[in-house]
Amino acid sequence: DTEVTQTPKHLVMGMTNKKSLKCEQHMGHRAMYWYKQKAKKPPELMFVYSYEKLSINESVPSRFSPECPNSSLLNLHLHALQPEDSALYLCASSQALWGPDTQYFGPGTRLTVL
Amino acid sequence: KNQVEQSPQSLIILEGKNCTLQCNYTVSPFSNLRWYKQDTGRGPVSLTIMTFSENTKSNGRYTATLDADTKQSSLHITASQLSDSASYICVVIDNYGQNFVFGPGTRLSVLP
């Protein structure tokens, strides 16, 4: 099974709402990633977890809060978002953070902030 | 500054034709270079991963080349199919694994 699943597929939220995005993989991968992708742009790395510890935080605003409760799960908690945060949020995983390991992406969550 | 540039920005070809996409980078120190295919509204799919010592790697009709001296890579698509219509993204990872530098992508359209 080489699948990364993400829920929900679509999310519409107001600027005062609190919501969470969920990502799951069962490939035994120890590195998990959150990306943000705007239309017609390449993905932008947000966070990386390696062995369930936050390894990379690309200066993301605090209204985005990642969480890695176990080696298979990755959450992204959203609070007080802005309309410009509307984007496709992609989760990915790989065997390890270091080295030439294939990165598997999920289908993404399409987020709209009103 | 670590950068990845891709050319052309967009490309239109007829079904059955070949094409080559280019990627130039300034990432240093270098660990590996990846090519991804991304269909609209979907997550990227890995096509190839190349390390410093690899010059060529194939994945079906996709062949990637790497020249680590000139810091250039290319992705050659043979006998294109309509399903090849997508964005192709070049990503370079530095030797510390801390920097994932994405290129802007090339948008390929294959017409019947």
| B43 contacts chain A (CB < 8 A) | yes
| B95 contacts chain A (CB < 8 A) | no
Across the interface, do A100 and B105 touch by the CB < 8 Å criterion? no
Model pLDDT for residues A59-99, shown as the tens digit of each residue: 899 999 999 999 999 999 999 999 999 999 999 999 987 67
Which pLDDT score, from 0 to 100, does residue B95 have? 77
| B65 contacts chain A (CB < 8 A) | no
- E strands in chain A: 4-7, 10-13, 18-25, 31-37, 44-50, 53-57, 64-70, 73-79, 87-94, 104-105, 109-113
* CB contacts, 8 Å: B42 with chain A: 107-108
B102 vs A42, A88, A107: nearest CB: A42
Across the interface, do A42 and B98 touch by the CB < 8 Å criterion? no
**In chain A, % of residues over pLDDT 90:** 81
Nearest to A9 by CA among A72, A91, A100: A91
What is the C-alpha to C-alpha distance for residues A75 and A23, in angstroms, rounded to an integer?
6
Are the beta carbons of B41 and A10 closer than 8 angstroms? no
What is the C-alpha to C-alpha distance for residues A90 and A103, in angstroms, rounded to an integer?
12
Which pLDDT score, from 0 to 100, does residue A1 have? 66
What is the C-alpha to C-alpha distance for residues B35 and A11, in angstroms, rounded to an integer?
29
């802005």: which residue's tokens? A82
Does residue A85 sit in helix, strand or coil?
A: helix
Model pLDDT for residues A15-49, shown as the tens digit of each residue: 888 999 999 999 999 999 999 999 989 999 999 99
Phi first, then psi: what are they for A83, rounded to 5°?
Answer: -55, -30
The 3-class secondary structure across B50-109, one letter per residue, is EECCCCEEEECCEEEEEECCCCEEEEEECCCCHHHCEEEEEEEEECCCCCEEECCCEEEE
Model pLDDT for residues B29-88, shown as the tens digit of each residue: 888 999 999 998 889 999 999 998 899 999 999 999 999 999 999 999 999 999 999 999
A-interface mutation test, from B37, B98, B106, most A Cβ less than 10 A away: B98
Across the interface, do A110 and B42 touch by the CB < 8 Å criterion? no
Model pLDDT for residues B2-23, shown as the tens digit of each residue: 899 999 999 999 999 999 999 9
How many C-beta atoms lie closer than 10 Å to residue A1's C-beta?
A: 6
Model pLDDT for residues B90-109, shown as the tens digit of each residue: 999 987 777 889 999 999 99
